[in-house]
Structure 1
């Protein structure tokens, strides 16, 4: 500590020192804590701290931060002593920074100080609660620390005093810190998911780099704190706004605004922030209602097995055509609040229990929502800033909807198919929606006639572009897993997976939206459109990462082009641009359904299996909108008006802030959903597993509620280890762009193969397994006339033995030739595996027992046996097996979950060659000899829970009780 040269001026000062010593003390002690633990740990326990759950030395040769500071004595104790010493300077640093930056009437310094305190507390949390003590809380506190580092870092840059050197260092260190997060996550996934040897060592280097950058960022305060003398005396006047830098203050302020994307410029006001938050939430409500419409419509053709008539409600979106009638346009524009409030009927629909009236209610909400938003855009088109704010909010609402669906496992918590029993937050969502819509509509319309005076360009071309754009963002971006499942190719994992890599889609959506707002000139040209077309082709034609890279290119473009395209359309006749635009959107939606539902719709055979045609049509329609944008001088006028710095565009900083908050919320949900991959079967001690087959009817129950929770409960209570799910592909607009397998797999602790993706034109087949899936291939069986028959062939590691599992859905009853060809294909496929390898078929065969194609599936070619050939009551679901010891079989009623029961069977995997020999040598009479339940061990028995009347409508039926068979 240095004695102050000002001590003689104030006799009351006993001891004083310069404020920069607080920064240096914090820096030195913090580095000492980590580096001393690293040195001591490597010296005493090197081989132990470099070892992880998969590998040790020499594959892994550098320890992670967590292993270094938390696993061994004495390094752990020495680290904690230094960290305890660090806490004093750390809190003092936060306090001095607040004193340095606080100005009368400014809220931002207080907010940054609070984030600094919380960041310090969470730092103590993850350092004192190590991964060895409590892995979950260690990770949670670590994530919170990184989350609060974002406002602390950007806030410190924005509030930085006029010191050019300090600003430069903060920018470079902050950029390095956040840039390090990308490879950090990548190599963690390589280690955790792909189990790559050496990946954890590379991850450890990036983790240590984060520590070094984090401490270095706070060390820069030494360049600012030399203005303080402690006891606190401002010796240079920097805290009063004096400029101590040779660089002009205006230049530094501009540099700080650039570094923080203008988020913190021009102060912070609660009122505008609440306005923007309300706008974005109202946009979220619109997308929640729109994406639910197809889902509630789908319920009816699903149960009618064909056109029901209720499909006409898809046309509810064309309501903006009413704006073409002048008196109605004036009425709607001048009473926007009424129409926006009426659009909330879609959220209230969950209270309507009759499916027909629930559909009517949702359709009414969509009708009013499309009409109200079109009127709002048209009315606000005379004010570029206000129009841009509305458009951004609408698109940010789409982003929020996708994030909410990710957090709720692809269901939206305020959909009308959700309620409290299956995870819905309908009541909360409705209350927030009412508050949001009242604030959203509190400003008077700017143009009471609702039509701008701009005449350049073609309204029809704009409408075609709007239709293609709306369809593209709805069909591809309303759920983060949609395009990932387009490129899914099975195991081993060679591409993105939904619960690990979905953030890349969110990041692309966010980046695209920001480009559309801040740099529209980058995308309103034919070059950008051409790049987007290449991305669309990559997504359509390729699998794995290469296809997904195309998806990210297309995502970025769609979100970027949406801002200028909607803004341009709002300046024209809204009845054409949005009314006719939604008509084109509806035609694409129907086209999108026809390619897979071709067997049930008029004209279906002409478009069967042509997702490529849909993508081509979508990009051509978007191209029409681009042509309208770039034609003549329209694009240049738009770009100039958008980029004009004098325009009052203060809303942008609030939108950027909300986008950042939404991204943080997604990352938190992403962390909470990160798979553990430590799944355990129910009866490992007996080498027994329970297998099941269930046709889940697209996860909508008989009363139009989403049925994942009810399915989860039955599968868990039956202790099913391996299950095939059929009619499971929900990744279309008409089905809500959902994925039931994500929730079931993560909640039940199972590996999952989604099966052929949504661009393969099937109704879906999926496999969930408690056992690792070593390899899987997807098959589309011969279907010259009827619907495509999907199949999965997977090889599982079951108690150290390879077991092949086939999941299959055959064609429909009306196409006998299809089913014959499919039976021959599958029999050959099942017979192609090694002769002594155990195998299992979980299937939907559409045949009677012992008749017709049954004798192809159960044949010498396939080598498969029926789980119980005496079960005469089957028509669709069958379980076949070979080289396994079957011990039990049961049929469990569905209640109102679906239209098909759940069939389950129990098997034991042979443990050695002797067991295999006895099983192979067993005669048909031996295999099929039934025994009483008392003759099998307790662990082999089915749960007694479902005897008699069972629970929740589930009980053993047909046989009234499970059947048990001969065993060795």
Structure 2
């Protein structure tokens, strides 16, 4: 029996229909991608070449012109050409639809508009695909033709726009901006070409790029005109298979209001949230690089204000543009990820600032008027929370560095290009179904935009400073050895599980999470975390963590009920203030008004909770909450809620499975072993690591690991190593080195101890460690670790210490007395790995090296020291070396070799290397020019002692 004959459509059946506004959106999107893609690619690959002109180059000229960017260099030229080619389809359709809208009987103007639009599109293809290198004359002819045709296209387009069309206002604005920009454009071109003024071409370039923006924006206004049009493909003869286009079974009308809660859109939201958190957490980290080198306020801190960008949405055209084409803000956020291509630190920070501004605009627009679509806010807020969890898991996999941060690149383990690709996909696929209707505010008079904004700022601050890394809350209660609390591995998995639980509770128990009892429970968790060490403090932190993740929907939905410039703009400003307070508590010695917040983590924590409380207050003022609406909406809402919970559960299960696999991989490793056990040798070193950012603002853990391994260091003290703050990225510099080389590690005093940090890595088991804060009545706090190691069966004490800065001599005197007492109280062999800020044989040096302390200098003849010193007692010293830092930090590595089980020798008599057993020698790799910028310096070779 043969197959049944196919069922054909009836003649006239509509196969596909597309709203005309999509033509306008597609044109705007692809035209923007052409210019933005070429700019990002050009800056990343040929920055100094494309800013070079016939008179000047970098740094006199530092921003490329449009022609230099899209000109003759591969691949940016190809990026531009590809997207312009894609734009051509929507462009011809745009011209045709505009003509159809404007056509009038017996009127010549619409026909002139049509011809002008077609010729203008063709001339655009001319100057795009015929470059000045191919044929300079024809390139200029096409370009001039395009510019000349812009005048009638603009004037006639405005004249044919209906007076009651919303597009008329925007066409007038962008046309005025376009032609107004020509005057300064020509002026600065003359300054460059005729007067040869340095920097004039860069200013010219900004106006040239502005012309492109205004040109694209003028045509983007067709969005409002084309909404009334629809393109259809009709089977006029009934030749297609009818079953392919049969109308679906009519759905329950109640389900229409749940538009936008598909699993696909959920995953897109997770991707975009991951990018948001990656860009936001990188901004303070990059800012920190500059005051770090300036040793005080640098001016670059102003880039933190970029996150207040939602205030720009008070400008009507901006709000309309970003809400109409939400892809633009998300694509702008990708600039923050792509900034890694810029090798100049200043430029990288500028690009991350731009990306962060777009990130907050995107977030504000996505939640604006969210209450007009039931459960859409819950859907998006859940995806936003899971994006944070995903970013934290990514850091867990990469030893607390986010792989797409702009401090990462291919050489140090970055996945930046992958991040860009994923981010672009998420940006292009994003939607905003609540665009219509779009009132400025759906809140009642009893609700407060400022309170909702404060809640938003407080929540983002708490999520960033406590949960953007799985180790932060652990280190708040870390006390050293023996271990009395959680460890980064494997207990990071617990943090992720609690975060996931909070997210799920936020879906299924919204009425409870937005209540005052839940708020007070979360605040109680914060109090326990702050006051209690070890496991108790961690449990309090987990209560707070679960609460914070659960309230993301109620806080974001509440903020979305107000005008985004008010709630999200003010909230971002609150976030800036909290960031500054968060820095001031530890940087008080270097900032104006610092003593007011000195060591007051409690105040910052209280401010955070008060801000969140205001957000809960705003939520509780909603007259008819989402929960009340749900209870009245019937089974369709229950089905939608179940769908959201299912989507979250699936995604969370996958993420937790990934984190479990990471935990298994990281946790199962061999016990550390010293480099030369046959000699009973302990090689000890001190290194001020400058917070793990090298001189060019790249993460330096990998380079640190390599030189430590090649120097065969058994015990090393890190100074300036507490990176568990927003300004340092919430990183743990010990993790990668400890796990990949095999060390026991002590992070030292945690972030709630308000120090710049000291850490200890040891090949030998750490039997006990005590954390100290030395007297610091005026200046920065001086941290110390006093650890007892099991060195070949012999208890050996190691003290890692960082004294205060030079400006506070009384602090340093008191600290020297305190450390001398610690060393005096030890009866074990002891090595001090320190940063003392004193000249050899002078001042406080004679307190550290004294009869009371019992300590000896590793090399008293080394006169060229000021900061770093190695001291010892009751252990045999055999060698000492100074190794240059390359570009990793601003301080060298000092290394001492000690032997356990042989009598102490303090004669300071040096011997040649030939008399030293081979196992006790320093590696020959660092002699002469050394390797990768590391070499023995000052003495140009190691020193050995009897």
Contact 1:380 1:446 in 2 (8 A): no
- Root-mean-square deviation over aligned CA pairs: 1.8
Q: Gapped runs of 5+ residues in structure 2?
A: 1-259
Distance 1:623 1:381 in 2: 21
1:54 counterpart residue number: none
> What are the Cα deviations for residues 876-901 of structure 1, in whole angstroms up to 9, with x where unaligned?
00000011111110000000000000
1:845 counterpart residue number: 836
Contact 1:793 1:804 in 2 (8 A): yes
**1:344 has 2:337 as partner:** no
2:489 counterpart residue number: 499
**1:274 has 2:254 as partner:** no
> 1:441, CA displacement in angstroms?
3.3
Contact 2:337 2:405 in 1 (8 A): yes
2:471 counterpart residue number: 481
TM-score when normalising by structure 1: 0.69
1:743 counterpart residue number: 736
Could you say if the C-alpha distance between residues 806 and 644 of structure 1 is closer, same or farther in structure 2, counting changes exceeding 3 Å? Answer: farther
Distance 2:623 2:261 in 1: 37
Which has the larger displacement, 560-569 or 765-774? 560-569
Could you say if the C-alpha distance between residues 641 and 735 of structure 1 is closer, same or farther in structure 2, counting changes exceeding 3 Å? Answer: farther
Q: Report how many residues are paired.
A: 685
Partner secondary structure for residue 390 of structure 2: helix
> 1:456, CA displacement in angstroms?
4.4
2:803 counterpart residue number: 810
**1:604 has 2:594 as partner:** yes
2:913 counterpart residue number: 933
TM-score when normalising by structure 2: 0.71
Partner secondary structure for residue 793 of structure 1: strand
1:856 counterpart residue number: 847
Could you say if the C-alpha distance between residues 375 and 833 of structure 1 is closer, same or farther in structure 2, counting changes exceeding 3 Å? Answer: same
Structure 2 residue corresponding to 1:892, chosen from 865, 874, 883: 883
Contact 2:715 2:761 in 1 (8 A): yes
**1:793 has 2:773 as partner:** no
Could you say if the C-alpha distance between residues 948 and 440 of structure 1 is closer, same or farther in structure 2, counting changes exceeding 3 Å? Answer: same
Distance 1:935 1:876 in 2: 31
Structure 2 residue corresponding to 1:962, chosen from 931, 934, 942: 942
Contact 1:783 1:811 in 2 (8 A): yes
**1:833 has 2:804 as partner:** no
2:752 counterpart residue number: 759
Contact 1:378 1:452 in 2 (8 A): no
> 1:470, CA displacement in angstroms?
1.1
1:556 counterpart residue number: 546
Structure 2 residue corresponding to 1:949, chosen from 925, 929, 946: 929
Distance 1:305 1:784 in 2: 20
> 1:672, CA displacement in angstroms?
0.8
2:682 counterpart residue number: 689
Q: Gapped runs of 5+ residues in structure 1?
A: 1-269
> What are the Cα deviations for residues 139-165 of structure 1, in whole angstroms up to 9, with x where unaligned?
xxxxxxxxxxxxxxxxxxxxxxxxxxx
Which has the larger displacement, 317-326 or 805-814? 317-326
1:468 counterpart residue number: 458
1:119 counterpart residue number: none
Structure 1 residue corresponding to 2:866, chosen from 850, 875, 886: 875
Contact 1:375 1:450 in 2 (8 A): no
Contact 2:446 2:621 in 1 (8 A): no
Contact 1:455 1:572 in 2 (8 A): no
Structure 2 residue corresponding to 1:663, chosen from 656, 660, 669: 656
> 1:491, CA displacement in angstroms?
0.2
Partner secondary structure for residue 606 of structure 1: helix
1:311 counterpart residue number: 301
1:292 counterpart residue number: 282
Distance 2:580 2:276 in 1: 21
Equivalences for residues 239-258 of structure 1 within 5 A:
none
> What are the Cα deviations for residues 25-51 of structure 1, in whole angstroms up to 9, with x where unaligned?
xxxxxxxxxxxxxxxxxxxxxxxxxxx
Distance 2:416 2:924 in 1: 36
> 1:639, CA displacement in angstroms?
6.8
Distance 2:930 2:741 in 1: 22
Equivalences for residues 546-585 of structure 1 within 5 A:
546-585=536-575
2:353 counterpart residue number: 363
Distance 1:290 1:747 in 2: 29
> 1:386, CA displacement in angstroms?
2.3
1:438 counterpart residue number: 428
Could you say if the C-alpha distance between residues 402 and 485 of structure 1 is closer, same or farther in structure 2, counting changes exceeding 3 Å? Answer: same
Could you say if the C-alpha distance between residues 645 and 512 of structure 1 is closer, same or farther in structure 2, counting changes exceeding 3 Å? Answer: farther
> 1:494, CA displacement in angstroms?
0.8
Contact 1:809 1:843 in 2 (8 A): yes
> 1:349, CA displacement in angstroms?
0.2
> 1:507, CA displacement in angstroms?
1.1
Contact 1:828 1:862 in 2 (8 A): yes
Distance 1:907 1:642 in 2: 76
Partner secondary structure for residue 697 of structure 2: coil
Structure 1 residue corresponding to 2:717, chosen from 720, 724, 733: 724
Contact 1:499 1:675 in 2 (8 A): no
> 1:467, CA displacement in angstroms?
1.2
Distance 1:642 1:962 in 2: 80
